[in-house]
Structure 1
């Protein structure tokens, strides 16, 4: 989508504060099933504010964080720039600017649904070393496992500007096969976030489809959010449950 590189520009602060990280179980799966080892080089494509880059840096990997959005890239640099293994790259999924055969893993976390698979596949294969891996990650919010999550999903469908269009669950098997190869693997591990109302509000406003403050739907959406929170909170908190999805395929 033409707006994919800019639509989060006015949401960086909320993105940094309220988006979920990725559980350590992601690394356990990749170590067991792909041979991920400390020191292997990761290209984190569409790296945003550095959430996924931090996961791999903390596990001992040099990371090239490739991100076209200047505001999000700056947020990642502020958080991770002190680590000598971190390199911030002003590039895109289709044109990373990285050298041929320079990385062991290409990772796209919460980002692949913004890409054109046919355009990114050759670029990712170009920068990968022989036998390298492509990994796609999503924290997929459960929508029907609790009354609160059902109500929150209904809110997004009523108030979101283009929620059903940009939902990553629209990614097709064909798109995954183009990017990852025919024999790609899917694994799922659990994760969660717990919010007070301010945190829930920030989490909602970090989403590109949530009407922002200058939109006429902003106040009605927040009024509905307040009602949902008040109805479902327990001890002043609500819980987001996620299925963290891990897709991976090897490039020979």
Structure 2
């Protein structure tokens, strides 16, 4: 996939992304503060910040945040949503060319976007912009594929109706790969349970926020939504389903010479 394709995949899904994508558990930030000495005084560069969901986590804890996002509609959505935070600004930049000054930030935050990055080029850029003793925190919500009839049915629905799903689904690195990416700078990892409780309209929006979900006009769009309705009706309790995640985080200093 070209760089242009990867940075523009969500341009036509911004509103659904803002409204229906999950946030991150507060325990994640508490762990960073408690176990790794991160404090509210640390300035954060949120790389691949999208619509600002990850940025808001740090802003609410008192951090200054610079959101680096190459997708114009998503960056504009973040600026609108977080306009009331005086310690927030967003810039046009990429993981391998952030536009930030050398040694200018204390903490790099990377959430769902990490699997789109070039691992070598992004690590070199992270090393350049981090201050001495700065850290990178790389984390994501990983949707559970098994464990409940809903989760298993949702995975089957994606595989049935999305021709793009197998190619661009969230193929995140495992722990061994992340340890290799950080090299000797690796400092720790943690996992947290997280979930959204969704009614049908929110579930539909969550599905349509995914870049691989067929949109209106596609031959699979209406059949997919009918199947989603059937799955929801079969699995909902009190008109809600639980959309379950494992939130994984990896933290460390960044060695520019260590490749996966």
TM-score (norm 2): 0.92
Q: Contact 2:123 / 2:254 at 8 angstroms: preserved in 1? A: no
- The counterpart of 1:29, out of the listed 18, 28, 31, is 31
RMSD: 1.5
Is the aligned partner of 1:169 residue 2:171?
yes
Is the aligned partner of 1:41 residue 2:43?
yes
- Which residue is 2:241 aligned to? 238
Pick closer, same or farther for the CA change 1:162–1:175 going to 2, 3 Å: farther
Q: d(CA) in 1 for partners of 2:163 and 2:23?
A: 25
- The counterpart of 2:136, out of the listed 130, 134, 159, is 134
Is the aligned partner of 1:123 residue 2:129?
no
Is the aligned partner of 1:88 residue 2:110?
no
Is the aligned partner of 1:56 residue 2:54?
no
- Runs (4 or more) in structure 1 with deviation over 4 Å come to 172-175
- Which residue is 1:145 aligned to? 147
Give the unaligned 5+ runs of structure 1: none
Is the aligned partner of 1:187 residue 2:190?
yes
Q: Secondary structure at the match of 2:8?
A: coil
Q: CA deviation at 1:218?
A: 0.9
Q: Secondary structure at the match of 2:45?
A: strand
Q: Which segment is superposed worse, 153-162 or 59-68? A: 153-162
Q: Contact 1:117 / 1:178 at 8 angstroms: preserved in 2? A: no
Number of residue-to-residue matches in the alignment: 252
Q: CA deviation at 1:175?
A: 5.1
Q: d(CA) in 2 for partners of 1:181 and 1:243?
A: 24
- Which residue is 2:214 aligned to? 211
Q: d(CA) in 1 for partners of 2:210 and 2:29?
A: 26
Q: d(CA) in 1 for partners of 2:145 and 2:93?
A: 33
Q: Contact 1:64 / 1:86 at 8 angstroms: preserved in 2? A: yes
- Which residue is 1:20 aligned to? 22
- The counterpart of 1:101, out of the listed 103, 113, 136, is 103
Q: CA deviation at 1:228?
A: 0.5
Pick closer, same or farther for the CA change 1:145–1:129 going to 2, 3 Å: same
Pick closer, same or farther for the CA change 1:174–1:115 going to 2, 3 Å: farther
The CA deviation string for residues 31-76 of structure 1, in whole angstroms up to 9 with x for no partner, is: 1221110120000000000000000011011001000000000000
Q: d(CA) in 1 for partners of 2:128 and 2:177?
A: 18
Give the unaligned 5+ runs of structure 2: 256-260
Q: d(CA) in 2 for partners of 1:128 and 1:8?
A: 28
Q: Secondary structure at the match of 2:38?
A: coil
